[in-house]
C-alpha cells in the first residue's frame, strides 16, 4: 500500500511518520509532466496546491516519500524551481542506474502522487563578495537554482562534473559554469573536481563556497579550501550520495 492510499494512519504510524519527517511540513505533490533534459537528467514538474506557503531558499531540498513496491523510499531532492502562479514545483532527477528513485521515476506519469517533507538543508547563498559552487550532476539543480538567484554582476564561479559534454544541457547556458567531463569513468570518488578547484585562484575579498555531491569528494575539497584559508563558516558542504549508501545525506 502506498502512502497516498494511507488515509488514516494509526497512532503508531503517525508517530513513525512524524519522526521520519522530523516535524517538517509535508507537501502533497502530483506529477504534471516529465521531460528528458539529457540522457541522464529527467525533469519532473509537480502540482503542489499550497506551494505559495512553501518558504524555501534556493539550494534547499525536500525529502521525497516515493511509493515503491510495498513501501516508501525516502530520498533527498533539491527544489529546482517553484512557480507560485502555476502552483508548480520542479525537480531534476539524475538517473544512475540503480535505486528506488529510478524505479519510482520509471513508473511515474501524470497524476502520480507522493508526499515530500521540508524544505531542509544548509546549502543556500550567503552574503559574500564572491561565490564558488562545486559539485557533480546531483548538485546541478542546486547550483543552477542558486546561480539564478544571484545578481548577474555578483562574482560567481561554478565547477560541475558530468559524464560527458551532452549533459551540459542539464542546466541553462551560463558562462560562470566550468564543465568537467568524466569521459567514460564512473561517477564517484575522483580528483576531477578537486584538481579543478585546486587550480582556481581564490579571488580577493570574503567568499563563500558551496561544495556538494559525492561525499568523499566533498570532504577532500572542503579540507583543501580550509587549508587554503577559507574558514569553516565560509563553506557549506554536504554529501549528497556515496557508493553503497542508500538514501540519506552525509554531514561533512
Ligand X SMILES: Cc1cc2nc3c(=O)[nH]c(=O)nc-3n(C[C@H](O)[C@H](O)[C@H](O)COP(=O)(O)OP(=O)(O)OC[C@H]3O[C@@H](n4cnc5c(N)ncnc54)[C@H](O)[C@@H]3O)c2cc1C
Judged by the rule CB under 6 A, the positions of this chain that interact with ligand X are 61, 73, 75-78, 92-94, 96, 98-102, 121, 138, 141, 187, 238, 240-247, 249
The residue number whose beta carbon is nearest to ligand X equals 99
The CB-side HSE value for 6 (13 A sphere, CA atoms) comes to 17
CB closer to ligand X out of 141 and 207: 141
CB closer to ligand X out of 102 and 154: 102
CB closer to ligand X out of 87 and 120: 120
Residue 70 cell numbers, joined: 510495498
Closest separation between CB of residue 235 and ligand X, Å?
15
Other Cβ atoms closer than 10 A to 213: 27
CB closer to ligand X out of 181 and 201: 181
Closest separation between CB of residue 33 and ligand X, Å?
17
Burial 166-180 (b: 16+ CB within 10 A, else e): ebbebbeeeeebeeb
Closest separation between CB of residue 216 and ligand X, Å?
12
Closest separation between CB of residue 51 and ligand X, Å?
17
Please state, in angstroms and rounded to a whole number, the distance separating the CA atoms of residues 124 and 104.
Answer: 27
Closest separation between CB of residue 41 and ligand X, Å?
8
Residue 252 cell numbers, joined: 561533512
Residue 121 cell numbers, joined: 538543508
CB closer to ligand X out of 172 and 203: 172
CA geometry: angle 113, 119, 125, nearest 5 deg: 135
CB closer to ligand X out of 99 and 155: 99
Residue 107 cell numbers, joined: 513508473
Closest separation between CB of residue 191 and ligand X, Å?
17
CA distances from 50 to 26, 112, 172, 234 (A): 10, 17, 27, 34
Amino acid at each position: 500500500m502506498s502512502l497516498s492510499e494511507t488515509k488514516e494512519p494509526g497512532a503508531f504510524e503517525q508517530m513513525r511518520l512524524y519522526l521520519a519527517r522530523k516535524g517538517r511540513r509535508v507537501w502533497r505533490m502530483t506529477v504534471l509532466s516529465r521531460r528528458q533534459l539529457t540522457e541522464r537528467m529527467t525533469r519532473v514538474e509537480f502540482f503542489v496546491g499550497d506551494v505559495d506557503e512553501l518558504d524555501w531558499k534556493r539550494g534547499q531540498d525536500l525529502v521525497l516519500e516515493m511509493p515503491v513496491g510495498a513501501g516508501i523510499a525516502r530520498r533527498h531532492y533539491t527544489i529546482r524551481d517553484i512557480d507560485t502562479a502555476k502552483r508548480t514545483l520542479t525537480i531534476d532527477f539524475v538517473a544512475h542506474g540503480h535505486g528506488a528513485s529510478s524505479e519510482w521515476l520509471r513508473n511515474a506519469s501524470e497524476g502520480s502522487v507522493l508526499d515530500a517533507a521540508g524544505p531542509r538543508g544548509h546549502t543556500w547563498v550567503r552574503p559574500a563578495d564572491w561565490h564558488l559552487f562545486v559539485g557533480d550532476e546531483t548538485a546541478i539543480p542546486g547550483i543552477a537554482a542558486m546561480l539564478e538567484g544571484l545578481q548577474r554582476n555578483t562574482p560567481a564561479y561554478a565547477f560541475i562534473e558530468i559524464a560527458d559534454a551532452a549533459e551540459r544541457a542539464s542546466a541553462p547556458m551560463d558562462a560562470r559554469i566550468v564543465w568537467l567531463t568524466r569521459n567514460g569513468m564512473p561517477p564517484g570518488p575522483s580528483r576531477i573536481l578537486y584538481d579543478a578547484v585546486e587550480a582556481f585562484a581564490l579571488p580577493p575579498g570574503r567568499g563563500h563556497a558551496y561544495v556538494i555531491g559525492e561525499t568523499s569528494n566533498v570532504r577532500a575539497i572542503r579540507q583543501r579550501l580550509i587549508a587554503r584559508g577559507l574558514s569553516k563558516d565560509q563553506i557549506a558542504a554536504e554529501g549528497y550520495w556515496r557508493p553503497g549508501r542508500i538514501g540519506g545525506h552525509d554531514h561533512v
